[in-house]
Amino acid sequence: MAIEQTLSIIKPDAVSKGVIGQIIDRFESKGLRIAAMKKSQLSREDAGEFYGIHRERPFFNDLVDFMVSGPVVIMVLEGENAVVENRVIMGATNPKDAAKGTIRHDFADSIDANAVHGSDSIENADIEIKFFFSKREIH
Ligand code: CMP
């Protein structure tokens, strides 16, 4: 299976709950390596551009409000089949639908405050990684 990279964001709800370490442990213990990591306070411009694909969706403004409500932790995860693996570890977008033992089941409160973001395809992972990291920040 191919070694891939994917983008992961620990969202403001999970950062403020103090579960950064527990979430990173979920990735590392399932074989995803942290290839890059930083803590950041997103501007409205950053969040709007990052989630530009959702600009026309009714939840867009709430999503941007939420993503700028506190600091986030942004990572590049690397490993076999990393895009799909990360999505399995995260669980369904809505924590009500997320399987037991997934990050969203265990740490998320609502579809907005859903603890983590992960790229949904290899193509988007490439775009999202380049949005936040330069090549020299990825190891
Ligand atoms: P994320 O994986 O970061 O991608 C877009 C985010 O929009 C999603 O997680 C949710 O937090 C948020 N969102 C809010 N409402 C919806 C919805 N109805 N469908 C999909 N995403 C939603």
Handedness of CA 17, 19, 95, 4 (dihedral sign): positive
For residue 70, give the DSSP letter. Answer: S
Distance 16 CA to ligand 1 centre (A): 19
- Cα of 121 vs centre of ligand 1, distance in Å, is 15
Q: Give pLDDT tens digits for 55-82.
A: 999 999 999 999 999 999 999 999 999 9
* Residue 105 is among the residues annotated as catalytic for this protein: no
Confidence at 1, pLDDT banded by 50, 70, 90: confident
Which protein residue has the closest C-alpha to ligand 1 atom 20? 93
Q: 118 has which bridge partners?
A: 8
pLDDT digits (tens, 9 = 90+) for 85-135: 999 999 999 999 999 999 999 999 999 999 999 999 999 999 999 999 999
What per-residue confidence (pLDDT) applies to 125?
98
Question: What burial class does residue 12 get, using C-beta atoms within 10 Å of its C-beta: 0-12 exposed, 13-18 middle, 19+ buried?
Answer: buried
Tokens of 54: 């959702």
CA-nearest of 115, 37, 111, 119 to 84 is 119
List pocket residues of ligand 1, CB cut-off 6 Å. 54, 59, 63, 93, 111-112, 114, 117
Q: How far is the CA of 122 from the centre of ligand 1 (A)?
A: 19
